[in-house]
Amino acid sequence: MVSLQEKHNFELTADEYKGWVSKEEDRVVAALNAKCRECEGCSEELEKLATSKKYHLAIVSSSAYQRIFAAIRKVGHEKYFEPEHIYSASSSLPKPTFKPDPAIYLWAMEKLGKKPEECVAIEDSGSGANSAVRAGVSFIGYVGSYHGAEKQAEMKKMLEEVGAKAVMTHWRQFPDCLAKTEAS
C-alpha cells in the first residue's frame, strides 16, 4: 500500500490504511484456511525436536501474525511454538520491515537471549535466506514447497549461493541437514 501511494501520488489516512490492510489479511487468512497444507514430513520432525527438548523452537517471518497463526493452526503446528516465540517483521518490530532486512532475526534473538551461532533457520526464499545470513544465522534451505524438479533445482542453487549449509527437498532429510549445519 505504501508503494502504491508513492507510485500513484495519493495518501490514505491511518484508518483507511488499516482498513485495507485488514481486508487483505482477511482474504489471505481465508485462503490459508482453505488451501494451506503441511509440508510432508514436517510434523514428524517438529515432534522429534519438541520431544528432544534440545532445541528452542521459534518462528521468524515477514508475514503478519494473523497469517502465521492461521497457517500453523491449519496444519496443527501451534503446539510446537509458544505465541511469544513467534516473531513477525510486520507486527513485532517497533518499525515494520520485511526480509531480507535482518531486523526480525536480530529482534527474535534478542528476545530469546540467543546468539547467531546458537541458531539455525529454515528458509525457502532468497529474501529469507539473505535475512538469516545478514543476521549471522546459519540456515538450511528447503525447496520441497516448490513444484517441479527444475524449479527445485533452481531454488537449491540460489539458496546454496546465498550460503545454505544444506538444502532439503523433503523433511525426512532434516536430521542429516541439521547435523551437517551443526558440524559446520
Give the DSSP per-residue string, 23-91.
HHHHHHHHHHHHH--PPTTHHHHHHHHHHH--S---EEESS-HHHHHHHHHHTT-GGGS-GGGEEETTT
Low-confidence ranges of the chain (pLDDT < 50): none
- What are the sequence ranges of the domains in the chain? 1-35, 36-183
Report pLDDT for 29.
65
Report pLDDT for 148.
95
Strand partners, 141: 123, 167
Q: How far does Cα 44 stand from its chain's mean position?
A: 19
DSSP symbol at 170: S
Fold for domain 36-183?
A: Rossmann fold (3.40.50)
Tens digits of per-residue pLDDT, 121-164? 999 999 999 999 999 999 999 999 999 999 999 999 999 999 99
Report pLDDT for 172.
96
d(CA 21, CA 156): 33
d(CA 165, CA 184): 8
Contact 138, 181 (CB under 8 A): yes
